[in-house]
């Protein structure tokens, strides 16, 4: 299916070129340096240049470029023990080894740390990846977290208010216990950001050990019955719903 338009935020020119299939960001930076790239008919050589995909015309040697109309969208149930990277110089187990062969270069949308599990999205669509990851869009991530000792229901609001660690605030958008109990070992959490080890740092800051983190939802997508290590391509309906998201107010 053809990709629907999404109101992408402005992005660095090298990222836009990579999304158009011009190669790695380093390759795209070389194209910029060598004066092959123009925006609205003006040659650009500044690597810090930002492009607005829906209002600017970007060209290579005078030929306008756009991202391809068909992209790859793959969902994975990431197992514990795999790092979220496509290449690892230390030869650790990575999610790249679990992916099917793709006609396009694909990359993860956001990350899950090595000890976390669950829904991980991959795509060849750099602009959509940027939009889904950008805080302005407030895309919700849904997690089920096992903790020790049991967490009391009357402390859930403290997770939503958040805490500051070394001057940085960590908080969840929503938190609830699994099951109708006064205390529980499983917490459902909804986040609208994707900072590194945010859930672990938040709960450890409250004095709790994190035993397991499972992401079961990302925006409108749900993990469903996908087994650990398995992948599948998104349906046309899922892609359409994913691309039609609007930014939060």
pLDDT (tens digit, 9 = 90+) per residue, 59-95? 999 999 887 667 889 999 999 999 999 888 898 999 9
Question: How far from 93 is each of 84, 104, 115, CA to CA, in Å?
Answer: 9, 22, 12
Checking if the pLDDT of 1 tops 90, the result is no
Q: Give the residue, 248 or 210, on which the prediction is more confident.
A: 210
Model confidence, pTM = 0.74
Catalytic residue list: 113
Mean pLDDT, residues 146-155: 96
Q: How far is CA 43 from the centre of its chain?
A: 32
Structural domains of the chain sorted by starting position, each given as residue range(s) with its CATH number in brackets: 11-64 (3.10.290.10), 73-137+221-243 (3.30.70.580), 141-218 (3.30.70.1560)
DSSP letter string over the chain? -PPPP--PPPEEHHHHHHHTTS--HHHHHHHHHTT-EEETTEE---TT-EE-TTT--EEETTEE----S---EEEEEEPTT-BS-S--TT---BGGGGSPP-SS--EEES---TT-EEEEEEES-HHHHHHHHSGGG---EEEEEEEEEEEEGGGHHHHHH-EEETTEEE--SEEEESSS-SEEEEEEEEES---TTHHHHHHHHTT-EEEEEEEEEETTEE-TTPPTT-EEEPPHHHHHHHHT-----
- Those residues with Cβ within 8 angstroms of residue 39's Cβ, 6 or more apart along the chain or in another chain: 13, 49, 51, 56, 57, 58, 59
Q: How far is CA 190 from the centre of its chain?
A: 14
Quote the percentage of the chain above a pLDDT of 90.
58
How far is 88 from 78, CA to CA, in rounded Å?
A: 17
Q: Are strands 174-177 and 168-170 parallel, antiparallel or unpaired?
A: unpaired
Mean pLDDT, residues 155-177: 93
Six-digit token string for 204? 């450890």
Q: Are strands 209-218 and 221-222 parallel, antiparallel or unpaired?
A: antiparallel
Q: How many CB atoms lie within 10 A of CB 244?
A: 11
Mean pLDDT, residues 166-184: 91
Highest mean pLDDT among 24-38, 61-75, 117-131: 24-38
What CA dihedral angle connects 77, 109, 158 and 185, to 10 degrees?
10
Q: What's the confidence (pLDDT) of residue 233?
A: 95
């Amino acid at each position: 299916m053809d990709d629907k338009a999404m109101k992408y935020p402005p992005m660095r020119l090298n990222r836009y070129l990579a999304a158009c299939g011009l190669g790695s960001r380093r390759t795209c930076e070389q194209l910029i340096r060598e004066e092959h790239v123009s925006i609205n008919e003006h040659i650009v050589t500044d690597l810090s240049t930002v492009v607005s995909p829906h209002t600017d015309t970007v060209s290579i040697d005078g030929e306008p470029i756009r991202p391809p109309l068909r992209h790859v969208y793959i969902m994975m149930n990431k197992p514990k023990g795999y790092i979220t990277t496509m290449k690892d110089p230390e030869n650790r187990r990575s999610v790249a080894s679990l992916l099917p062969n793709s006609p396009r270069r694909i990359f993860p949308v956001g990350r899950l740390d090595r000890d976390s599990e669950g829904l991980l999205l991959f795509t060849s669509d750099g602009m959509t990846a940027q939009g889904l990851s950008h805080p302005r869009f407030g895309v919700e991530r849904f997690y089920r977290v096992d903790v020790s000792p049991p967490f009391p229901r009357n402390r859930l609001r403290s997770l939503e208010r958040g805490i500051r660690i070394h001057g940085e605030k960590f908080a969840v958008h929503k938190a609830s216990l699994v099951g109708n109990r006064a205390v529980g070992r499983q917490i459902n959490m909804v986040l609208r950001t994707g900072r590194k080890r945010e859930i672990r740092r938040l709960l450890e800051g409250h004095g709790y050990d994190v035993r397991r983190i499972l992401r079961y939802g990302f925006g409108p997508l749900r993990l469903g019955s996908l087994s650990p290590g398995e992948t599948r391509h998104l349906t046309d309906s899922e892609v359409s719903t994913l691309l039609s998201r609007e930014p939060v107010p």
